[in-house]
Structure formats: C-alpha cells, structure tokens
Chain A
C-alpha cells in the first residue's frame, strides 16, 4: 500500500539547512494499523504529511497503492488526497461556519461525484453515532463530537488510507477512547491506518509501532513484541 524508500526531507531555515527526515524506508501493507511515535519536533508530522501527499520529500521515492507519487505535480497530488487519503488532525480543523454535515461533504466538493452529498454525509455521521448532530455547528459540539465529525469527513470519499496526527491530543480520556474504538472498527473494516501519537495507550492499539528519533526510524516492531518490551 505504502512504500517509501530512502526519503529525506530538508528545510531551509534562514541560511541553515535543517534535515528533518534522514533516509527513511518504510513499507505499510494494505489494512495495517500502524502508529508512529516520536518526541515532538522529531519529524513525525513531516513524515505523515509526506505520506499524505501534502508535502514532498527532498529525496527518495514514494509508491502509493502501486503508483509512484514522488514526482507528481500539485494537481495530481490534490486528486490523490481527495480520492485515496483521509486526514484526521489534532485540532479537528472543521470549518466553523458550516454545519456538521456540510463539513463532512467538503471532500465531495472537490471530487467528481454527483450523488446526493447530504444523504451520504448523514449516513457517515450516523455511523459515528452523531445522527442527532447533523445540523449542528462545530462550536455547538464537544471536542469528541467534533473529532468524530472530522473522522466522518475523512471517510466520506471511501479513502484507502486514514492518516491521523495526534487525533486524541486535544481530547479528554473518554473521548480519546471513543476515537480509538472507532479506529479499531475502521481497521476491522479493512482501512489502512497510520496514527502519529505520543500517547502510549493509543499507540498500543496498533498492530505495529514505529519509533522515530532524530529523523530516523529507531525501531519498527509488531505490537506483541512492543508489549513484551514494555513489560520487561
């Protein structure tokens, strides 16, 4: 599903070059649930942005769903984001003046679909347990509800991959658990999930945990082994 090899990312900060990612190679299979852990500022968000086709690596190749995307132009990447990727952000990033269902339909505005957008949005919101919040504005919703609206938006176009950046970072523990539960459901449904987090409880829900340090992958282990390591 995701094959990145030898990618690195360098930012130009004033006159200094800052290398955020160094020679990362990573393969994620279809249907995998992967969490990426790293201390803040260690390039995990940059990696997620590259995986999500929002950013491009300075070097290396990226093949997504069998298609090389590293040399695509901006318009092609926009299309990939629209069709194959759903983003979930730490701060939800809902449009404040739009109702829940309108927020959910946002990706459809930029797709080629002609179907009844509201019906689809309501359906997805119902599956998130938000049937009675369809016409609410984001500010009328709790943080957990907002994040579920955001997840519904990520799912509306039936993407192959969900990329989440600290999805529980702004939530209380019970809302966070609800989000994690939804992720497990999606995983069970066959969606590929990549979650960046520094919350060990969230990370441990994944099949596979990747630890980053100084822009490199420090460890990449299955959950079973991770649990052993935590235990010992």
Chain B
C-alpha cells in the first residue's frame, strides 16, 4: 500500500516536468532502440543463416577456382579448374555423388523489351537443379539436349522475372543476356538471400556449353559444387578432393592450392562473422548511449535533489524514513528509465521496419530482445538513481527545511 502510494507520487513527479523527463529519457531511448534493432537483427539473421545453410545443403562442398576464395567475394580467378577436374572428382572419389561444374558471373546485364536488370549468370549442366536443390516453378529446367546443341535457353530467378516481366509470363519470351538473345524456358522457385547476403533470385541459368562457347568464351570453370553420399566423412572427402586436384594441377609440395574448398561450416562461420561484426558495432553504440543516458539521469537527479531539498525536508518532517526518500528517488529514476525503455522499444521496432525497407535485413521480432531492452533500462535507472537517492535520503531534514 505504502509502496503503491509512493510509486504514484514518482509517476507524478515525472509528469510534472516533461521537458526534463524527456531529456533524462533520451539516452535510454537511443540505447534501447539500438538494442532492440541489434537483438532482433542478430537473432533473425542467425535463424535465417541456419535455414539457408540447410537449404544450401549440409552434405555439399564446393571447389572454387583460385586460392583463398571466400564465397560472395569477387576476385580474378586462375584458368586451372576444368570440366575434367569435375569428372575426375566424380569418378575417382567414392563419396562424391554428383558434381555441378559451373561458370558464374555477377552483375551480368539482362534485358527484356524496355526493362533491364543485373543478374548472376550461371552456366551449368542440367544437374545444377538437383545439386543446388532449386527447381523450376514454371516452365522447365535445362536438358541434356540443350547442352548438346548449345541452345540459347535460360532459366531465370524470381527477382529477374519481376524486374523484366512484372506480371507477364516470361516462358517462351526472348531476353538479352549481355548481347546474346536467349529464350526463357523456366522460372526458378524463390530462394531468398544467401548466407553471404546475395539475392539468389537474381540467378540466370544457361547451359554450360552455351556459356563456354557463346557467352564467356572460356573453357575453365568458376567452381565445382559437389553432393556427397555421406556428409559425416566430409573431412576425408575434402582431403581427397584437395589431393586429387593438386595432382591434376601439378602443384608441387609447398606450392599454394590454386583452388579453395568451401564447406557448409565455413559458410556458416562467414555468415555469423558478418553478423558478429555488425552486432559488436551496435552493442558498442548501445553501451555508450545507455552509459551516457545513465549519466544524464544521474546528473539531472542530483540537480533535482538539490532543488527539492524543501520537499525532502517536509516529507521527513511528516514521517518519511530515510529509506522512503531513497525509494522515492530511486523509483523516479527507474520509472524515467523504464518509460524511456518502452519508448526506445517502439522507436527500435519502427527503425527495424524502416531498415527492412532499405536493405534486405533478416529480422525477427523476438520477445528476448524486448525483455533484454527493458531489463537494461531498469538497471540503468537503478545505477543512475542510487547515488542521487542516497544523497536525498541523507539530507538533514532541519537544514533541508531552513
């Protein structure tokens, strides 16, 4: 009862000086808003990465041409990775179930009628669809016949479809890939963003033979993706692939690999490293703004204690104990911080919405983040309020009333 009465008075005190209360809240609002954004973004990103990696396939490894390659990072590549390497991997390494040799090129211009966009051009064999676990949603995928006759046919991703055709049915239409006319034969099912942040629905898949002879004019590969029989012995298979390719590429001991083997664990690690860098940065901002917010609250509380000496004296004279005064000022600090926390959560959620409009930021509204944000706000209020509240409680009532 007594506490309830006192908390009512704390809330009144907050409402009585709105400008000051808002200033006190500002740091907490910013801190909690960023905290809400971070936790939602990080948790969302993590959930999304896990889903991605599952889609990517945990029983798959990729061989990329060039040393020290990282998925998603473009760099000039050597000409040593060949179709024959892919065939040798399939025939000589028992655990390899299937291989998809391919040439990829990012930001490749694709046009239809007046519309144009940029996609990831992939030249691959018909088994690309099963290896990447990505099937056509409408139309059909590449066939052996397409490969045999170097057909100018393409299967496009959802984003490309949307950018070029809007609502029109693309199957059977002619598009320009670079300067080459291609017939659209199918649209791939939506795949979303890759663990490394690439929009997978911008892919345009054409036959490998067509790509080699008619578009890229190169016989070397960009990468070979493989499917394994048994993913539990992936480590061994990676060693086997490395040994085989080093031998085929005539690399002497001591010479660096001219290829990079990427496993799902590595993809996961890179993705989580990206989100870690992002979150470390934002946690720093959160920490700083919550600290500044706390200092502001503490300072304004000290001023308030000085201004309200008479009030403290009156309250003591009519029977408030030291602890009552302490609790009163603590409650004021905590309610300011908590209200700031609530506003911060709302601002954070609005920020998340706005952010989602600009970049493809995977987010998840998580109860954890709201609880964490409120909890931090209460802690900030307690820490900031304790010294001013102690000072208020220890005021000599006689001097305070003078």
Contact = CB atoms under 8 A, between A and B. Distances in A.
Given A49-B398, A106-B315, A97 B16 contact: yes
B317 A87 contact: yes
A54 interface: yes
B1 interface: yes
Contact of B317 (A75, A81, A112): A81
Contact of B319 (A79, A93, A95, A114): A79
A74 B317 CA distance: 12
Contacts of B315: 106, 110
B318 A81 contact: yes
Contact of B322 (A52, A75, A112): A75
Contacts of B115: none
A114 B313 CA distance: 24
Interface stretch (B2-10, B220-228, B251-259, B334-342): B2-10
B320 A110 contact: yes
Interface in A82-139: 82-83, 87, 89, 93-95, 97, 106-107, 109-112, 114
B401 A110 contact: no
B322 A110 contact: no
Range class of the B interface residue count: 20 to 34
A216 B16 CA distance: 46
Interface string B226-270: 000000000000000000000000000000000000000000000
Contacts of A114: 1
Nearest to A76: B321
Contacts of B16: 97
A153 interface: yes
A78 interface: yes
Contacts of B321: 74-75, 78-79, 110
Contact of A54 (B12, B323, B398): B398
Nearest to B13: A97
B219 interface: no
Contacts of A78: 316, 319-322, 324
B1 A106 contact: no
A147 B257 CA distance: 93
Contacts of A59: none
B314 interface: yes
Given A95-B311, A95-B314, A111 B319 contact: yes
Contacts of B9: 109
Contact of A110 (B12, B311, B319, B398): B319
Interface of A: 49, 52, 54-55, 74-75, 78-79, 81-83, 87, 89, 93-95, 97, 106-107, 109-112, 114, 153, 157
